[in-house]
């Protein structure tokens, strides 16, 4: 026994959908994601012991972790079942005062690009007793994600699910991690549609895209701070395309935020389609399934625009539309109407 049993803690973290600005976070650019009303709940019951044992409604095997597990990437990535790697990483990062038992429940689809892993990390952090500002929690969880998966992900997912604002998207400047709430206009509906293609970033070219951006950064600094003139100074055509996406995407983020705040949904929709074309052409992270879904959704009267959301290689498309014009039942893949949610929080303690 290392401690005494304490009160049961139940913590909730939302997932997220990114309205604009993919692959800009790790380039010190800007993005406009929003926390959503799908999420993950973690219940933790301290028992004074030296193990953390959690069950998940979506997993057949328990996560059974030593309270003193080190934050060692090699150790974490060898753990089974795979979802226990996140539990172990958060135990190592937060170091709860005692072991305990508990459960995980989630309404987020796995492998859809709606930040199910970030939601799990943040909910675990709060359930284990983490105290700190959203930026600090996001950095902690980002470190665990990389240790557990080997994917050098950016900070967007963890930051928006930690610091989301009810009714608003969050304009994030990754050069200084400042944020500003951008209200979602009345009379607009946000629909997320699965492409039918599940993905795990560790099995995609995500790391290769980041390496290509890093190579371009060596020539003129962070892409998110560069102007369009910098592109022509790059010697490699692939590098130029990657840089062009990031630089133009940052402009689209700013223009999209202005369009939302001004109620110009036609312009917002145009920017979404332009973003998807850039992600598909210059950054090469789309798929035929995502492309076809964007074409289909934007052909529906009343849909202002649509684009892939998240890192790509599968997952979902997000659409901005008039209320009710997208018939979810008529789609051949799962879809959700989502609303802008507040960030992660402790729901109950006692």
Residues that are catalytic: 157
**DSSP structure class, residue 232:** G
Structure tokens at 336: 């959700």
Count how many Cα atoms sit within 13 Å of the Cα of residue 244 in the half-sphere of its side chain.
19
Candidates 284, 145, 117, 146; CA nearest to 204 is: 284
The owner of tokens 């529906």 is 300
Cα gap 131→300, rounded to integer Å: 46
**Closest by CA position to 119, among listed 43, 39, 202:** 39
Gap between the Cα atoms of 40 and 42, Å rounded: 7
3-state DSSP assignment of residue 280: helix
Residue 225: strand, helix, or coil: helix
Q: Which two tokens stand for residue 46?
A: 């301290």
Q: Which residue has the tokens 């789309």?
A: 286
At 327, list the tokens. 């018939």
């Amino acid at each position: 026994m290392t401690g005494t049993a304490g009160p049961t803690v139940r913590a909730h973290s939302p997932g997220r959908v990114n309205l604009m600005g993919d692959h800009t976070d790790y380039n010190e650019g800007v993005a406009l994601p929003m926390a959503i009303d799908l999420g993950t709940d973690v219940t933790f019951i301290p028992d004074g012991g030296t193990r953390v044992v959690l069950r998940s409604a979506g997993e057949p095997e328990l996560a059974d972790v030593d309270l003193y597990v080190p934050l060692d990437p090699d150790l974490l990535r060898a753990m089974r079942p795979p979802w226990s790697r996140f539990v172990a990483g958060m135990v190592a990062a937060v170091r709860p005062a005692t072991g305990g038992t508990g459960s995980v429940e989630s309404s987020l689809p796995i492998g859809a690009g709606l930040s199910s892993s970030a939601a799990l990390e943040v909910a675990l952090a709060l359930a284990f007793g983490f105290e700190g500002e959203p930026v600090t929690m996001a950095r902690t969880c980002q470190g665990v994600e990389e240790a557990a998966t080997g994917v050098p992900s950016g900070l967007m997912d963890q930051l928006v699910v930690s610091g989301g604002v009810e009714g608003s998207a969050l304009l994030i400047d990754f050069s200084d991690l400042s944020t500003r709430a951008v209200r979602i206009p009345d009379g607009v509906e946000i629909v997320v549609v699965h492409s039918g293609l599940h993905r795990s970033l560790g099995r995609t070219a995500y790391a290769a895209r980041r390496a290509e951006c890093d190579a371009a950064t060596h020539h003129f600094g962070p892409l998110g701070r560069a102007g369009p003139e910098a592109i022509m100074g790059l010697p490699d055509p692939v590098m130029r395309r990657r840089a062009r996406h990031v630089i133009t995407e940052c402009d689209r983020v700013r223009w999209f935020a202005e369009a939302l705040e001004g109620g110009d949904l036609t312009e917002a929709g145009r920017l979404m389609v332009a973003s998807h074309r850039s992600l598909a052409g210059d950054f090469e992270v789309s798929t035929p399934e995502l492309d076809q879904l964007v074409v289909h959704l934007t052909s529906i009267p009343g849909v202002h625009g649509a684009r892939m959301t998240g890192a790509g290689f599968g997952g979902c498309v997000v659409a901005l539309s008039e209320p009710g014009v997208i018939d979810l039942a008529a789609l051949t893949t799962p879809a959700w109407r989502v609303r802008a949610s507040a960030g992660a929080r402790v729901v109950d303690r006692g």
